[in-house]
Each structure stands twice: as structure tokens, then as C-alpha cells.
Homo-oligomer: A and B are copies of this chain.
Amino acid sequence: MNRIIKGKQSLLFENAPYIVSAASVTGSKEAEGPLGKLFDMTNEDDLFGAQTWEEAESTMQKEACVLALGKAHVKADEIRYLFGGDLLRQGIATSMGVEALQIPMFGLYGACSTSGEALALAGMSAAAGYGKYMLAVTSSHFGSAEKEFRFPLGYANQRPLSAHWTVTGSGAFLVRAAEPDSDSKNGQSRCEKTALPSEDDISTAHISHVRIAGVTIGKIVDYGLKDSQNMGACMAPAAMDTIVQNFEDTGRNEQDYDRIITGDLGYVGQSILFDLVRGKGYDIRKIHLDCGMTIFDRETQDTHAGGSGCGCAAVTLASFILPKIENGEWKRVLFVPTGALMSTVSFNEGASVPGIAHGIILEHWT
């Protein structure tokens, strides 16, 4: 059986699946940011040839999937299952985006944590032997998200400094099962004990040294905050909960990770996260990154607390994080996309904004 259950919320895979390719598609503002040159595809007017923001977001998802497949020379009909989601009501960006691929699919909603949710389920399904290839994809779009959660762009509403800027982008990840039984007998998911890729793998895949070694699935964490314009504060407790749970489940601590990378806590959420984690006896300040802080330049891009959205963590992982794990600069990363669980209806009815965060353990293997 290809799994080890660890603690309450985590799984470490005996025969860990790997990420064989990844692709990032973003809008113009992201292209002008610090990671701009790393994205696979960007678009000048953020419409990607479509008539609406929602269609544009769908187009990004489709392009990201097609690019990820193309990089690994894998056809859509070789993909067993697709796990995808976005921020829009009823997930229409995903259902319109992946329709053309005709892959059996699971629609997901985890707010901005969805890239973690999708990677977790893709990894779990591949590790369970349910198919050779799984595809995980998420997206967000500034135009569609403002319309969904706040105001249409034409209103030109002002935003508080604690507000995030939704990333226009989509990231797709092709997850491949390890060779059967390659290391199923040793009960460890360590780099040195995993299967080597075949010659064929090395020649065709852009990524061949990154494995999904395990996952820590998050609970809903609610500190009672109600300010939907301060999502960093709403999500920080969930990020803390998942990170600390990962440490407890695996017997590790901050010294066992080269980086712990949250999704989109931003500047406000990061400082809260540091305090909360310190209260549990850990100090992650030296190894922490946040995709929302990485993707935009705070000084020049006027994005307030930082980037956010299902696409934020996804495109940062695809373009910036995975290459560093692939080349061995980082040996083990805990990737923790964070989500704020709210809607305009729950906000208007006075409900709080709970958070959720899913942890994905990514390891370099040779």
C-alpha cells in the first residue's frame, strides 16, 4: 500500500508521485512584476482574446493546461483525472476552461487555497495508483474577482491598504505516478530512495526532480474576523494551523524545510503568521516566503497588501518555486496556499471570514 498516514492531517507517500511539468499564464500587471520574465505566457490587455473577464480566465486555464501537457509531451487523453478550481461563483472559469480537454474532472473550491487542494488530490490519486497522470489547475482574474467579490472595475472604487490585488493568472501542474513498486518496500519518502526517471522521462519532461512527498490537509480555522478587505489577517491563523500541524504530524520543524511558502497572506498576514507560529514555539521567519509578496513589487505596483487569488500561488509555484526545487537549490519546501472562505452573501449577512490552508511537501530528488 503506497502511503503512510502520519499524525492527524498528513500523508507521506511511500512512492511519491512527481510533478513532471508546470505552466503559468498571467496578465499584464504580473508580467511587469518581479517574476514577469519567468511566466510561460502573458497577455497585454488581460482579455486573452475573449469578450468577458470570465471567458478570459477560462482561456488562461485552458492555455495553462495545454502548455503543461505540451511541455511533457503528454496528450489530454492520457490524463486520468483533472482537479481544478477558481474563485468565481459555481466555478465557471474552470468548467468553461477545461471543457475542451475532455478529461474526467473534479471541480474544487477552496478559495485561494485551491491550488494546494488540487495538488493534494492529484498527488493522492497518483500515489494511490489510480492513473499515471493527473492534472491540477487553478486560476483567478483581477477583473472577474473584483466583479465577484467587490465592484466591477468601472466603479473605480478605492481599496484599503490591507486589501489584496487579485492575480490575473493560471497555473497548471502535471502530476505523474512513480514507477510501480520502485521504492514501496522501504517505507520512506526520502529523495535518495526514490525511483530514477527513465531516459525517456529525462528527454521529454521539463521537470524531473520534484516530488510531492506528502500533504497536510487543512481544517477550517475561524478567529471571528469579519473584514473581507483584510484577508491576510483572516487566513494567517489557518496557515499557522496547517504549518504547525505539519510539524507535529511529521516530527519536523522549521529546520527541516528550506522554505515554507504561503499562498497570499501578504504583508499584513505575514506578520500575524510569524506571531502565531512563535506562540507555538517555532520561528519560521528566516525561511518564509509568501507568493502574494513575491509576485508584485510593493514599491512600484501599488498592490497594497500583496497579490492574492487562486492563480497567485499557482503561477508563483510554476514559474519561481519549482525551478528552484528542480535545480536543487531548495531540497524540501512546504507549499501552503491559503484561502479566505467567504462570499458577498456571507459578508452581507455578517458572517465571519474563516480561513483554510493546505500544505504540500515538495522535495528535490535525484
The segment from A124-132, A165-173, A202-210, A287-295 found at the interface with B is A124-132
Partner-contacting stretch, out of A36-44, A328-336, A340-348: A340-348
Q: Is A226 an interface residue (CB 8 A)?
A: no
Report B-chain residues with C-beta under 8 Å of the C-beta of A95.
220, 341, 354, 356
The 8 A CB mask of A88-119 against B (1 = contact, 0 = none) is: 11111001101100111111111100000100
Asked whether any CB of chain B lies closer than 8 Å to the CB of A153, the reply is no
Contact A106–B104 (Cβ < 8 Å): no
Residues 23-67 of A, flagged 1 when their CB comes within 8 A of B and 0 if not, give 000000000000000000000000000011011000000000000
Which residues of B have CB within 8 Å of A218? 104-105
In contact, B343 and A89 (Cβ under 8 angstroms) = yes
**Would you call A343 and B117 a contact (CB within 8 A)?**
no
Contact with B along A226-270 (1 / 0, CB 8 A): 000000000000000000000000000000000000000000000
Q: Provide the bound-state CA to CA distance between A220 and B218, in Å.
A: 28
Contacting residue for A356 out of B87, B105, B109, B343, CB 8 A: B105
Asked if A217 lies at the interface with its beta carbon under 8 angstroms from chain B, I say yes
Tell whether A306 is near chain B: CB-to-CB under 8 Å: no
Q: Which chain B residue shows the least CB distance to A90?
A: B343
CB <8 Å contact, A2 and B1:
yes
Quick check: is A161 within 8 A (CB to CB) of the other chain?
no
A sample of 22 inter-chain contacts (CB < 8 A) reads A1-B128, A8-B104, A9-B104, A54-B349, A85-B109, A88-B343, A88-B345, A89-B89, A89-B148, A90-B109, A90-B343, A95-B354, A95-B356, A104-B218, A105-B217, A106-B108, A106-B117, A107-B109, A107-B117, A109-B109, A128-B128, A147-B345
Query: Assuming A5-B131, A104-B217, A105-B220, what are 9 further A-B pairs, CB within 8 angstroms?
Result: A1-B180, A89-B343, A92-B346, A95-B220, A96-B351, A104-B218, A105-B217, A106-B121, A148-B345
